[in-house]
Amino acid sequence: MSTPIDPAAVVAAFIDAVAPYDPRPEDAPVALIGVRTALGEGTFAVSDHVIRAMCKALAAYRDPEDRGSCVDCGSRHLDENLHCRECGRLHGILGEVIAQHARRVAAEDA
C-alpha cells in the first residue's frame, strides 16, 4: 500500500512552486482555497497567476489510465490491452485484425 498523500500539502507545494513567477505578487488574492481531510487542512489565498497555472496544469494533464473511449458503447474503461470492460470490444490494431477475421469467418459461414 502506498503512503497517503496529504491534499493540503499538495496544494501548498503547487502554490510554492508557482508563486515565485507571479509578475504581480502585490495584487490582492482572487480566491481562497480551503482543503480539509483526515490527513490535514489548509486555507490558501491565491493570486490570479496561481489560478491560471492550475488551469494550465489541468489542461496539460493526461491520466495514465486514459486509453480513449470504446467505439461501440462509449465507455472510458479500456484496460491496458485496449479491451473494453463494459461491452468486451477489443480496440487497437490487434482488435481490428480480430474483428476483420471474425467478419471473414462469418461471411464464409453464411
- The arithmetic mean of pLDDT across residues 39-63, rounded, is 95
Same domain, 31 and 50: yes
| Residue carrying C-alpha cell 489510465 | 65
Same domain membership, residue 70 and residue 47: no
Is 98's pLDDT higher than 90? no
Q: How many other C-beta atoms can be found within 10 angstroms of the C-beta atom of residue 15?
A: 18
Tally of structural domains, the chain = 2
The values of phi and psi at residue 72, to 5°, are -90, -55
The confidence score (pLDDT) of residue 96 equals 80
Predicted local distance difference test score (pLDDT) of residue 2: 79
Displacement of CA 14 from its chain's centroid (Å): 17
pLDDT reported for residue 1: 62
Q: For residue 31, name the pLDDT band (cuts at 50, 70, 90).
A: very high
Do 109 and 84 lie in a common domain?
Answer: yes
Q: Residue 103: its pLDDT value, please?
A: 85
Would residue 2 count as lying in a domain?
no
Range of the domain at 28: 7-60
Owner of C-alpha cell 469467418: 105
| CA–CA distance, 57 with 60 (Å, rounded to integer) | 5
If asked whether residues 42 and 81 sit together in one domain, one would say no
pLDDT at 74: 94
Give yes or no: residues 16 and 53 share one domain.
yes
Q: pTM of whole model > 0.85?
A: no
